[in-house]
Structure 1
Amino acid sequence: MIERRHVATLLAGTFLLAGSASVVQAETRALSLFNTHTQERGTIVFKRDGSYDSKGLQELNYMLRDWRRNEVTRMDPVLFDLVWNVYRDVGSHQPIHIVSGYRSPATNNALRNRSRGVAKFSQHMLGKAMDFYLPDVPLEKLREAGMKMQMGGVGFYPTSGSPFVHMDTGSVRAWPRMSREQLVRLFPDGKTAHLP
Structure 2
Amino acid sequence: MRRRTLLLAASAAFPLPALAAPRRPVLRRLAIRHAATGDRFAGPWHDGRTADPAAMAELSQVLADTRTGAILPFDPAAIEVLWEVARRANLAGELTILSGYRTPQTNTAVHGAGDSQHLRAGAVDVMLASDRLGAFAEQAVLLGRGGVGVYQARGFVHVDSGPVRRWGDMPGALAGLPVTAGGQPRRLNLTFDPLASMAEAWGKTRIR
TM-score, length of structure 1 as denominator length: 0.78
For residues 59 and 6 of structure 1, the distance between their equivalents in structure 2, rounded to whole angstroms, comes to 54
Cα RMSD (Å): 3.0
For residues 184 and 158 of structure 1, the distance between their equivalents in structure 2, rounded to whole angstroms, comes to 17
SS of 1:45 mapped into structure 2: strand
**Deviation readout 1:147-187 (Å, 9 max, x if unpaired):** 11111000001112xx1000011111100375797435999
Measure how far apart 1:42 and its partner are: 2.9
- Provide the residue aligned with 1:59 in structure 2: 58
* Structure 1 residues 181 and 131: alpha-carbon distance in aligned structure 2, compared to 1, 3 A threshold: closer
For residues 193 and 7 of structure 1, the distance between their equivalents in structure 2, rounded to whole angstroms, comes to 47
* Structure 1 residues 181 and 29: alpha-carbon distance in aligned structure 2, compared to 1, 3 A threshold: closer
Count the aligned residue pairs: 177
* Structure 1 residues 184 and 70: alpha-carbon distance in aligned structure 2, compared to 1, 3 A threshold: closer
Measure how far apart 1:87 and its partner are: 1.0
Q: Which has the higher helix share?
A: 1
Greater RCO (CA < 8 Å, at least 6 residues apart): 2
Alignment map for 1:76-155 (pairs within 5 Å): 76-112=75-111, 118-135=112-129, 138-155=132-149
What amino acid is aligned across from residue 89 of structure 2 in structure 1?
V
* Structure 1 residues 111 and 170: alpha-carbon distance in aligned structure 2, compared to 1, 3 A threshold: same
Percent identity among equivalent residues?
29
Larger radius of gyration: 2
- Provide the residue aligned with 1:183 in structure 2: 176
SS of 2:64 mapped into structure 1: coil
Measure how far apart 1:93 and its partner are: 3.0
- Provide the residue aligned with 1:115 in structure 2: none
Alignment map for 1:18-97 (pairs within 5 Å): 19-20=22-23, 23=24, 26-97=25-96
* Structure 1 residues 131 and 180: alpha-carbon distance in aligned structure 2, compared to 1, 3 A threshold: closer
Structure 1 spans left out of the alignment, 5+ residues: 113-117
Structure 2 spans left out of the alignment, 5+ residues: 1-10, 190-208
